[in-house]
């Protein structure tokens, strides 16, 4: 029987939720870079926090997590999304106190969570429906059926989302599970609100979404970078002359400038653009580490780097570059290290959790 989201419990009673160090974290009330971390074999992971007022102090362990987890800041609260195999949300009102935890359904593989009106919406990669949650109790309030947007296997592979007030955009990968998990030539983005689906936009294969300060989102797909406006208009894609390389993640500054991770086979680089379809202002050389995520705070772009596939002896870590010169990656000897390598990033500002 499927476990419903209404079954919640305090994970302070679970030994697995203690910080890896065994000591509770302190001094986590300022702006933070939150890091979902993972072991090299993905067997386990953790949540760490870096005080952005004093990053030289290094990351502090907060909790253990699943080996495949990401972190979000939702309505001022910190939410760790434990993906396939654990399938839960772990929620902190205060990082110095025990969190609560709620199941998203066994095997559901939750991927993202955003605020839509007065509810939370959770995308579930292995299911045809997303979950509506009460943001205060994390109880399930209903489900949003997206099966009509799937390919022939009935699962739309819903992943990243961007909140738009009383609505949200959801990226659908639309993979063919009956034919080697191949991507449909048309990825899709749907706009939803409390009443259901209100708009659909066909985009390139394997789309991901990144919030844009002017509303809407950037769409990162196999065919390049596109701009999805709040009214549903789509511009692009543009490839920025990257050849066989692909932009796999990005973040947009308040002025519209973009910092991105570029993947070329087993190599990764950081790229900065003056706007999504504009000129490349700087680009790093390619590195053997696996750059998995990035976040921006002020003028600093923070990058999560894991041990690479090509040369597993090259250690990962966390580093920052000035967004005016993304090419200036610091020497790896000076990268910040956590108990496990960083995998996913999110910034929590000075708002009250």
**Does the pLDDT of residue 2 top 90, yes or no?**
no
Mean predicted confidence (pLDDT) in 83-94? 96
State yes or no: pLDDT of 13 exceeds 80.
Answer: no
| Ramachandran assignment for 206, one of left (phi > 0), alpha (psi -120 to 50 degrees), beta (any other) | left
- Specify the CATH number of the domain 111-238: 2.40.128.630
Name the token pair of 102: 């709620």
Name the band, by pLDDT with cuts 50, 70 and 90, for residue 246.
very high
3-state secondary structure of 25: coil
Please give the average per-residue pLDDT across 210-229, as a whole number.
97
| Distant-in-sequence, close-in-space partners of 157: CB < 8 Å, separation ≥ 6 | 125, 150, 172, 173, 174, 175
pLDDT digits (tens, 9 = 90+) for 125-152: 999 999 999 999 999 999 999 999 999 8
Instruction: Say which residues have a Cβ less than 8 Å from residue 52's Cβ, sequence separation at least 6.
Output: 30, 31, 32, 33, 297, 347
For the chain, the average pLDDT equals 90
Looking at residue 133, its pLDDT comes to: 98
pLDDT per residue as tens digits for the range 95-118: 999 999 999 999 999 999 999 999
Listed range (159-163, 166-170, 174-178) with the worst mean pLDDT? 174-178
What pLDDT shows up at residue 245?
94
Q: What is the DSSP letter of 8?
A: E
Nearest-angstrom CA–CA distance, 137 and 70:
21
Q: What is the mean pLDDT of residues 292-317?
A: 89
Domain ranges of the chain: 1-103+289-353, 111-238
According to DSSP, residue 18 is labeled S
In the prediction, which pLDDT does 219 show?
Answer: 98
| pTM metric for this prediction | 0.91
Is the model's pLDDT at 272 over the cut of 70? yes
The band of 29, judged by pLDDT with boundaries at 50, 70 and 90, is confident
Task: Give the residue carrying structure tokens 């362990």.
Answer: 61
Question: β-strands 60-65, 45-51: how paired?
Answer: antiparallel
pLDDT at position 21 is: 43
18: confidence class by pLDDT, cuts 50, 70, 90: very low
Three-class secondary structure of residue 147 per DSSP: helix
> What per-residue confidence (pLDDT) applies to 23?
52
Alpha-carbon span 277 to 274, nearest angstrom:
8
Lowest-confidence region among 14-28, 244-258, 273-287: 14-28
CB atoms within 10 A of CB 73: 17
User: Among residues 161, 157, 223, 166, which one has the least CA distance to residue 196?
Assistant: 166
> What's the pLDDT score for residue 26?
67
Which strands sit side by side in the sheet containing 341-348, from one edge to the other?
A: 60-65, 45-51, 32-38, 341-348
Mean pLDDT of the region 325-339: 93
pLDDT > 90? residue 162: yes
248/226 Cα distance (integer angstroms)? 13
CA dihedral 188, 193, 199, 204 (to 10 degrees): -20
Q: Which of 212, 217, 190, 211 is nearest to 202 (CA)?
A: 190
pLDDT number for residue 225: 97
């Amino acid at each position: 029987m499927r476990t419903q989201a209404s079954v919640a419990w305090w994970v302070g009673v679970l030994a697995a939720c203690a910080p890896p160090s065994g000591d509770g974290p302190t001094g986590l009330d300022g702006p933070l870079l939150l890091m979902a971390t993972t072991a090299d074999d993905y067997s386990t992971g953790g949540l760490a926090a870096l005080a952005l007022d004093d990053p030289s102090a290094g990351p502090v362990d907060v909790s253990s997590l699943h080996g495949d987890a990401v972190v979000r800041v939702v309505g001022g609260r910190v939410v760790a999304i434990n993906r396939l195999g654990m399938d839960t949300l772990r929620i902190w009102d205060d990082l110095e106190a025990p969190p609560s935890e709620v199941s998203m359904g066994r095997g559901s593989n939750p991927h993202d969570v955003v605020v839509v009106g007065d509810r939370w919406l959770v995308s579930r990669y292995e299911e045809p429906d997303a979950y509506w949650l009460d943001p205060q109790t994390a109880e399930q309030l209903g489900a949003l059926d997206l099966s009509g947007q799937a390919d022939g296997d009935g699962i739309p592979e819903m992943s990243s989302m961007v909140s738009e007030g009383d609505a949200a955009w959801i990226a659908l990968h639309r993979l063919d599970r009956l034919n080697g998990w191949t991507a449909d030539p048309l990825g899709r983005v749907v706009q939803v609100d409390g009443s259901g689906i209100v708009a659909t936009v066909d985009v390139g294969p394997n789309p991901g979404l990144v919030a844009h300060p002017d509303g809407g989102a950037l769409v990162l797909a196999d065919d390049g970078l596109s701009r999805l406006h709040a009214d549903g208009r789509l511009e692009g894609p543009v490839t920025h002359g990257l050849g066989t390389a692909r932009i796999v993640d990005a973040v947009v500054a308040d002025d519209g400038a973009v910092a991105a991770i570029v993947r070329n086979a087993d190599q990764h680089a950081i790229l900065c653009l003056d706007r999504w379809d504009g000129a490349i202002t700087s680009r790093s050389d390619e590195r053997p580490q696996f750059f998995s995520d990035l976040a921006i705070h002020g003028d600093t772009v923070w990058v999560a780097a894991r041990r690479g596939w090509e040369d597993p002896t090259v250690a990962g870590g966390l580093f920052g570059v000035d967004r005016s010169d993304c090419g200036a990656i610091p020497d790896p000897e000076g990268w910040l290290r956590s108990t496990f390598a960083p995998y996913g990033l999110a910034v929590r500002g000075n708002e009250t959790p």
